[in-house]
Amino acid sequence: MLLACAGCVSTTSLTSPVEGLVTVNGEPAAGVSIVFHAQQEQPEMYSRPSAKSGSDGRFRLTSVSSGDGALPGRYLITLTCRVPPAESAGGLLGGGIPDAVPADQFKGRYANPQTSGFSFEVRDTHNVVPPIDLKLP
C-alpha cells in the first residue's frame, strides 16, 4: 500500500542554507543573536530567520526547522548579544533578584534593521555570509 500526502512540501525544499561568522574586533563572538528581516513579502513563518552564534562565532540560520536556512530574497540583518543580568545584593540564592531585562552588549547599535549597516541577499543555493565584524560601543 502506497501512502501519499497531497500538498505536503518539505520546508527545507523552499529554503536555502545560510551560514556565516560573527566577530567582535576580529575575534569570534559567541552568543550573538542574528536575525534576518525580509525586505519582500514572505509567509510569516519565513519572514525572520534567525540564529545564535556558537563559541567559534559561526552560525546557521533557521526559519522553521533547525538549520534549514532562509527563503531566497533580500534581507536586512540585526545583531544583539544579551549580557547576563546583574544580581542584587545577596545573589539569587541569598534572596537577590536579577535585573528585569538583560542589556545588549552592543547597546542597540545593531538592533535596528534600518540602521544596523548589514544586509544580505539569499540565493537559491548554499549561502555564506561574508564575516560580520562588530565593534563594542
CATH 3.40.50.720 for the 13-134 domain, yes or no: no
What phi and psi values does residue 128 have, to the nearest 5 degrees? -120, 115
Contact 132, 77 (CB under 8 A): yes
Contact 106, 118 (CB under 8 A): no
pLDDT digits (tens, 9 = 90+) for 46-55: 889 999 999 9
Q: What per-residue confidence (pLDDT) applies to 46?
A: 82
What's residue 25's pLDDT? 95
Q: Is the pLDDT of residue 43 over 80?
A: yes
Q: What is the mean pLDDT of the chain?
A: 85
Please check the confidence at residue 99 and state whether its pLDDT lies above 70: no
C-alpha to C-alpha distance for 53 and 33, rounded to whole angstroms: 7
Structural domain boundaries in the chain: 13-134
Residue 3 binned pLDDT confidence (cut-offs 50, 70, 90): very low
